[in-house]
Amino acid sequence: MIPEGQKNEIRAARQKSRALVTALALGAFVILMFAITIAKMAANT
């Protein structure tokens, strides 16, 4: 059984790392969509 105080610490650390990974994934997705758009435009010209 994990003590409540330690539980809160684990929860906060996991929420922070998950938020960071989500932000990085979203940033990568935006860059990828931009690159795909440029590649598609280049293919059509």
Q: Please, which residue, 27 or 35, has the CB nearer to other proteins?
A: 35
Q: How far is the CB of 41 from other proteins (least distance, A)?
A: 11
- Distance of alpha carbon 23 from alpha carbon 11, whole angstroms: 18
Residue from 5, 7, 27, 44 touching other proteins (CB under 8 A): that is 7
Q: How far is the CB of 30 from other proteins (least distance, A)?
A: 13
Assess contact for 2 and 10: CB atoms under 8 A.
yes
Work out whether 41 is an interface residue with other proteins (CB under 8 A): no
